[in-house]
Structures are given as C-alpha cells and as structure tokens.
A and B are shown apart, each in its own frame.
Chain A
Amino acid sequence: MFGYRLARRDKPLPGGQFLAFAIGLAVALVAGAILLVATGFNPIEIYIEMADSAFGGSQAISNTLTQAVPLGLAGLAVAVAGSMGLWNIGAEGQIIAGAIAGTWIARLGPDLPGPLLIVIMLVAAVVGGGLLALGPAIAKAHLGVNEIITTLMLNEIALRLVRYLVNGPWQDPTAIGFPVAPVLPEQAALPTLFSRANVGVIIAAIVLVIFGVFASRSKWGFELRVAGSSAQAAEYVGISLRAKIMTVLILSGAIAGLAGGIRLTSSDRIVEGIAEGWGFAGIIVAALALMRPSGVALVAIAFGALRVGGTAIQTQGVSDSISEIIQALVLMGALAAAVFTAYEITRSGSGTGVPTGAESISGSAEASAEATP
C-alpha cells in the first residue's frame, strides 16, 4: 500500500501530448539504435531507409496507405465503442464476418457489373460485421454481460466459420485440396487509385472523416462521450444507455466489417487468414488515438508506415526479429506517451484516504479497489 500508482490526470499534461509522443518516439529509437549497432548496422542509415520506404515516392506512399486502410477502419471500430467506454475486442472476427458476407454476394451474383457488385459486396460486409456484434450488443445492453468477453469469443467463431467454408462448401475444386475459395470475379476488385493504392483508401478516408466529425461535433457524439465519462451522468440527463450501447456496438462491428469487405475486394479471394491480425492491431491504433475517432486516421498512417518500413529494412539484412523489436519499441513508446497523456504517477498509501470527487465515479473497479485497505 506504500507504492506508486497511476491516477487519472485532473489537469492536462504540461507540454501537451505531442511532446509526450516525441519523447516516447525518441526513447524507442535510441533503444532500437542500440540493438542495430549491436547487430552490426548503422542505425541512422536503417532509420532513413525505414522513412524512405514508407514515404519516399508514390509507391512508398501507396504501400503505407494500403496498410493504413484496414488499420484505420479497425481502429475506428474500436475507438467508436471506446469513446463511450465499451471495448470491442472482436474487430478481428468482424473483419472475417465482413469478408464472408462479401464473398457470399460474389458467389450469388458473379455476373453483376463491377461497380454494382462491389457496392453490394461492401454493404454486405458492413451488415456481416454488424451482425457479428449484434449478440454482444444485446447481451451488454439488456443483461449487462461484459462485451470484452463476448466480442473476443466471437473472433474464434468467425475464424472457425471461415476455416470451415474454405475447407468445405466454398473450397476451390481446382485448388487440388488447398484450403482456399475460388478466385472472385475479376470485376469485384476495387479500382486502382495510384501505384498500389486502390479506391479503398478513399472509402476509408470518407468513413474516418465522417465519424471523426460526428464523434467530436454532433449531439450523438456528445452523448457517447457523456456516457463514456460517467454512465450515471448520462442517465441523469436522460440519455438511454441501452439504446446507445446497442447502436454503438453494432456500428463498431459494421465498421470492422467494412474493413473486411475492403480487404476482400483488394485481394483475389477469401482465405482463412483474411483478417491477418488487423482487428487486434486496431485496438492498438484506437489506444494510441486515445479512443478519439478524430485521431484514428493519423495514427493509422503512422502505424502503416512503421509496418512498411519494418518490412523494408529486412531487405537490408536486418533480421526479422530485430525489425519486429524496433516496431514494438516504437509502439510501446507511443503507448506510454498515450498513457501519460491521460494518467500521472502518484504516491499511494500516504494514508489520507479522503475520496476526491474523481474517485467516486460510478463505483468503478478503480474506486472499489482503492476502498480496500
């Protein structure tokens, strides 16, 4: 009881979060440099190579943006729920559900004209992702069942479903036993925008801007933030928590489903690994954006660049382990910065024990833990 603990800041961080991120990044890069030197590389050259491969030229930028699309949408899905204090850990499964729904449409209408087919596939993906979140939404809104558990478990169900489909009913008969579905019709591929980037970038950008604006400026977004700040305050002003939980969780699933739809129409067929961890990466993106939908796009691009750069330096001879450690260090530095933007370290056990207003919020786990001597 006489240790240190994290407490939510009452006042904003001095110097602002940009300074915090700069420090986090600097610490990470120095730590990475030590690793690079120890394994015989010039860190400056490697870092320049990372930056160049992520931002130097249109091909580099197209690679970064292509990575940023699923990161941004998955991150948005998590952040929309997170802005009212809900955790959607099921973006991974919802991406798969979206891709399954899109594939189903392509199988039903393989001869539809391209734009129409793509639009219907994406709409189906949105519906598919939303449907996967429907159960957790109902359980949370009406029975108070923890949405972290239900959304997480549905990831496994979605994964088993796609595995069954590509090994069974949807297996490509020409693939001589490989667990893949047949290739999609050619017109189901999203048109190219420039270099390797396709129209998915535009779709994601529009969705991110709309939600960014709505979350921070609209009455709907305000209600979300009130509910996220204090459920009791929301009920006090007459915001229906049940209705909000339902719409927000389903919407969150739908956004992740769209990410699945774009992944599908950016590749030639559905495979077991269609989600590739994008959904889980979305949790990191949302955390780095401090659960603010308006901050997701920037974080997604930075994260995408990090992945592109991390892959590129492997062609310089840096081992994949070192590359992944550097990526992880940068993410940890940024996450630490995000944490210290919202929290500060205080001495605990000074024995005052007087609850301040902030600690009495809605009988939260934090507050009741502190009440125990």
Chain B
Amino acid sequence: MTAVELEGIWKRFPGVIANAGASLSVRSGTVHAVLGENGAGKTTLMNVLAGVYAADDGTVRLDGVEHQFANPAAAIAAGVGMVYQEFRLIPTFTVAENVALGAAPTIVAKGSIEKQVAELADRFGLATEPGRQIWQLSMGERQRVEILKALWRDANVLILDEPTAVLTPAEAQELGRITKTMSSEGRSIIFISHKLDEVKAFCDEATVLRGGKTVASSLSVTDLDAGRMAELMVGEATAVSQRRVRTTAVGNTALSVENAKVVDVHGRAVVDGVSLTVGAGEIVGIAGVAGNGQRPLADALAGLTALEAGTVTVDGTDLTTSSPRDRNAAGLAYVPEDRLGVGLAPRMDAVENAMMRNYTTLGNGFFIDRNAASNQAESLIERYQIKVGKLDAPLAGLSGGNLQRLLVGRELDGDPKVLIAAQPTRGLDVQGVAAIQKILVEQAAAGVGILLISEDLEELFALSDRLLVMHEGMISNDFDPDTATRQAVGAAMTGA
C-alpha cells in the first residue's frame, strides 16, 4: 500500500528551479528518509506535500487518491502533518493549548483537553506535561509537542524536517523510538536528514534528491553505505570551477585557532575544540552540512560571540578577547553568511555601507567627512564593478551579486591579513560566483590568508589548499583536495 506518491513535481521560484520533476513514493507504515544536500529541493518538495506551495506541475496522491492542496489546512485535513525545523508554537501557551489550538471541537474545559492530550501522548510514548508552558520546555520537548499537534489532527503522514538538528543525542534516540511506534501503527513518516547513522538506525527506505530531481528512490537502507549515499547526494564532478593554480608559497601563519569552543543559549557545545591554522596566501576550506557549527565558529572568530574556551590569533596578535572592531583593525576581515542584515545594513545606502568599517577615521572629531565617504564608495564601486543605482538609495534593492561585491570589496579595502568568507557565493548567479571566486584567488595570491566556509564542494575543491570537514562542531577530517575524492569528503560530511 502506498501512502504517499509524488510524481513529476515541478516548482519554480524567481531565478531558481527548486523541484525539476521530483518524485517520492512512501509505503504505509514505514519511516522513509529523504536525503540531499542543501538546495537539493527537499524542503520545497515537502512543502508541496504539506500544502504550503502549489506545485507548478505534477501530481500528489495519498493512498491512491489525487489531491490538490490549496493551503496547509487542506493538507492537514487530508492527513498530512509537518513538523518544521523552526517550531510554530506559542511560547506562553501550555502544551495542551498549543496542541488543541485551532483544532478543538467546541469550547472545552482546560482539564479535559489536558487529559486528552496526556492520553494521546501516552499512546505514542511521547513524554510530556500538558499543563506546562512552551517556554519552559527543552527543544526536544517542544518537538514532541509539534508531533502531538500533528497526531491530534490525526495525521497519517508525518513529515519531520531535519528533526534531529536541534536535539541532543539522547533526544534523537528517543525520537527514533517514537517514529517506530507511529509506523508500527500504520502511519507513515517522512524523515529529512543529512546523517547516515540516523537514516540507517531510524528509517526503512530512503529517497535521494539532487538538483531538484530524484536520483534514487525507495532504496532499502540496508543497501546504503556511506560511500554510496555521498555519491548519490554529491554527484559526479561537474568541473564548473577550474582548479586554482597556486603562484606563491604559503607564508607565515596568518590565523591560528586553538581549541575553540562555543556554546549556544541552551548550553550545548556547537563548536567543540576546533583548532586550525591558515597561512598567509593560503585558502583553507571548511566543508560541512549546514548546522554543524560553521556559522558559530565564524561568528566567534569575528568576535560577534564570545568563545567559551580557546584562543584566536591573527598574525601573532592574540585577539581572543578583542572586540569586533579591534579584530578588524588587527587585520581580520569577515564576510558573514547573511550578507544583507549582518554584513550590510539593508535600509542604508551604498556610501553608508561602504564606510561601516572605517567611519571613525573619515573626518576629524565628531563629524564624518562626506566627500571622503562618497569617494571611498565610488572607488569600491569602480574597482569591483558594482552596479548600484543612485549612491543614496537603500541597498535592499540590489542583486545578490552586487551586494556581495560591495561587501567583499569593503572587507578587503582595509588590507586585511585574514579573510573569513562564509558562504561567499551562495545564491549568486554564475557570473557572480565567478567574480567572487576570482577576488578570493587574487587576494590569496596577494598574501591574504583565507578561511573559506562553504557548502559548495565544487568551490572548495577548486579553491582550497587544504580542505577541512566540520561535523558536529568538530573538525573531523583534513583532506588534500588534489588527492581526496568527493565521495570521501561527502562521507566525512555525513559523519561516516
């Protein structure tokens, strides 16, 4: 019996094709893994199934019956429940209130709802306290509330979008047990994941997406090993980017990080004992599946968050406790993952964004020398061929490639010794990617040490001198991109 059948699903967004004829078939009473890299189209496909997006083309069938969901409510009514990565709970409501919200038959006594929720939770072995408010709960408990919400609405198909990303290992084990209980009742679970060990432990079958298409459907997880999974997810080398030819020798250590540890608001170690060095003129790549500590590492190196332990040294200067401004002055430039909103201020204009690093030095005393600021912006615009409309228009209207050229240009304007570039080409078009990669190569040749954090393996293989893999907050492997295979790196990314 097939619980879910998606066939030939197409979904286009402006400038992006998220699904290009993807398909998925889930048997009743199984836990089905959906695998793929970031941008492979997993979440879009699930959103089509959950009624969030209407597919441009293709069919959705549940138990053999074709459906066209106008909105998420229609999908819920048809028995599809989705637990998003970011929970949709009301923090000041109790567990029972959140579960029953919008799905209580009439006005019901609070005690009665709490009792019903407790019974439902018991049936599936979901440990919870219906009377507690959401803000008091751990992430694992909140996730159980989301699952209860779906079960309360009698979901027959439950989609879990990277459910273990926010969980501790013990909570993840617990989740695996819960999914087994649900599937043994005949419900079907779709489990989106990057992690091979979980897929093998929790799931029955797996479908792999790549570039919006299904490249392998309903494989038995017993047939799946790390190499095969990585090969399916990453694919063959496409040789889009040319291998960088190094023209200069690696110089002295530009950036040195020792035993860096960062904890999140819940006290979990998201970066756990990372040590690395980047030499002058060297490009060190960090590969990894999103959410394995790359972003907290970059933010901590730039001084945006504090290190719990460890040291950061740039060109021999210990910057462990320095402010972001002092780190920048000492030669540390940072191109953050969120180029608009962190790296650039969207409602400010090009001149103002161009001077964000050095406005304190433009003009004497209290006031900013506006001519100097304009000249600086114009020289950046010319040097990096940035297309801006008017100099005094808010940046928010610019394209990603132009924003990134402005950001990268500004960061390099202070002649840094080290550049941390996080996802510098993500979301850019082909020319934009080429322009940014060219800048990185030129800067390395000029002696800047570059730490390149990317989810694009092609880019990392093309540009890096050394390729580190980050997994669960730690540097798990150190590859030589000239000899390593994509499969080996891909396997390391999934923790194999």
How many angstroms from the CA of A314 to the CA of B431 in the assembled complex? 67
Partner-contacting stretch, out of B110-118, B183-191, B277-285, B395-403: B395-403
How many angstroms from the CA of A362 to the CA of B336 in the assembled complex? 13
Size range of the chain A interface in the assembly: 35 or more
B residues less than 8 Å from A236 (CB atoms): 302, 304, 324, 334, 336, 342-343
Q: Is the CB of A238 within 8 A of B324?
A: yes
B residues less than 8 Å from A232 (CB atoms): 338, 341-342
8 A Cβ contacts from A61-86 to B: none
Q: Is the CB of B13 within 8 A of A354?
A: yes
Majority secondary structure of chain B interface residues (helix, strand, loop or mixed): loop
Q: Is B71 an interface residue (CB 8 A)?
A: yes
Given known A236-B302, A353-B53, contact A229–B346 (CB-CB < 8 A): yes
Q: Is the CB of A11 within 8 A of B393?
A: yes
Nearest-Cβ distance from residue A360 to partner chain B, whole angstroms? 6
8 A Cβ contacts from B351-383 to A: 352, 355-357, 359-360, 363, 366-368, 370
Q: Is the CB of B13 within 8 A of A219?
A: no
8 A Cβ contacts from A214-266 to B: 214, 217-220, 222, 225-226, 228-230, 232-238
Q: Is A372 an interface residue (CB 8 A)?
A: yes
Q: Is A351 an interface residue (CB 8 A)?
A: yes
How many angstroms from the CA of A99 to the CA of B53 in the assembled complex? 58
Q: Is the CB of A358 within 8 A of B345?
A: no
Q: Is the CB of A237 within 8 A of B356?
A: yes
Among candidates B14, B88, B326, B334, residue contacting A352 with C-beta atoms closer than 8 Å: B14
Nearest-Cβ distance from residue A25 to partner chain B, whole angstroms? 26
Q: Is B167 an interface residue (CB 8 A)?
A: no
How many angstroms from the CA of A361 to the CA of B360 in the assembled complex? 25
Q: Nearest B residue to A368 by beta-carbon distance?
A: B86
Q: Is A176 an interface residue (CB 8 A)?
A: no
Q: Nearest B residue to A354 by beta-carbon distance?
A: B13
B residues less than 8 Å from A352 (CB atoms): 13-14
B residues less than 8 Å from A143 (CB atoms): none
Q: Is B52 an interface residue (CB 8 A)?
A: yes
Size range of the chain B interface in the assembly: 35 or more
8 A Cβ contacts from A318-373 to B: 351-354, 356-358, 360-362, 371-373
Q: Is B216 an interface residue (CB 8 A)?
A: no
Q: Is the CB of B13 within 8 A of A353?
A: yes
Q: Is A8 an interface residue (CB 8 A)?
A: yes
Q: Nearest A residue to B16 by beta-carbon distance?
A: A354
How many angstroms from the CA of A146 to the CA of B53 in the assembled complex? 35
B residues less than 8 Å from A175 (CB atoms): none
B residues less than 8 Å from A356 (CB atoms): 396
8 A Cβ contacts from B313-347 to A: 323-326, 328, 334, 336, 338-347
Q: Nearest A residue to B342 by beta-carbon distance?
A: A232
How many angstroms from the CA of A272 to the CA of B396 in the assembled complex? 47
Q: Is the CB of B334 within 8 A of A353?
A: no
Q: Nearest B residue to A9 by beta-carbon distance?
A: B394
Q: Is A12 an interface residue (CB 8 A)?
A: yes
**Most chain B CB within a 10 A radius of its CB, from A8, A233, A351:** A233
Given known A222-B352, A233-B356, contact A361–B72 (CB-CB < 8 A): no
A residues less than 8 Å from B359 (CB atoms): 219, 222
Q: Is the CB of A237 within 8 A of B357?
A: yes
Q: Is the CB of A233 within 8 A of B14?
A: no
How many angstroms from the CA of A220 to the CA of B390 in the assembled complex? 24
**Most chain B CB within a 10 A radius of its CB, from A226, A371, A372:** A226
Among candidates B302, B340, B356, B389, residue contacting A226 with C-beta atoms closer than 8 Å: B356
Q: Is B348 an interface residue (CB 8 A)?
A: yes
Nearest-Cβ distance from residue A265 to partner chain B, whole angstroms? 30
B residues less than 8 Å from A354 (CB atoms): 13-14, 16
How many angstroms from the CA of A234 to the CA of B396 in the assembled complex? 17
Q: Is the CB of B341 within 8 A of A220?
A: no
Given known A214-B366, A225-B348, A226-B345, contact A12–B304 (CB-CB < 8 A): no
Q: Nearest A residue to B323 by beta-carbon distance?
A: A238
Q: Nearest A residue to B360 by beta-carbon distance?
A: A219
Nearest-Cβ distance from residue A231 to partner chain B, whole angstroms? 9
Q: Is the CB of A229 within 8 A of B347?
A: yes
Q: List 28 A-B contacts (CB under 8 A).
A: A1-B71, A8-B347, A8-B396, A10-B397, A11-B393, A12-B394, A218-B366, A219-B359, A219-B366, A226-B356, A229-B345, A229-B347, A230-B345, A232-B341, A236-B302, A236-B324, A237-B357, A238-B323, A238-B325, A353-B52, A357-B339, A360-B340, A361-B340, A362-B341, A371-B86, A373-B51, A373-B52, A373-B71
- Measuring CB to CB, which residues of chain B are less than 8 angstroms from any residue of chain A? 13-14, 16, 47, 51-54, 71-72, 86, 88, 302-304, 323-326, 328, 334, 336, 338-348, 352, 355-357, 359-360, 363, 366-368, 370, 389-390, 393-394, 396-397, 400, 403
The 4 closest A-B pairs by CB, nearest first: A238-B325, A10-B397, A357-B340, A229-B345
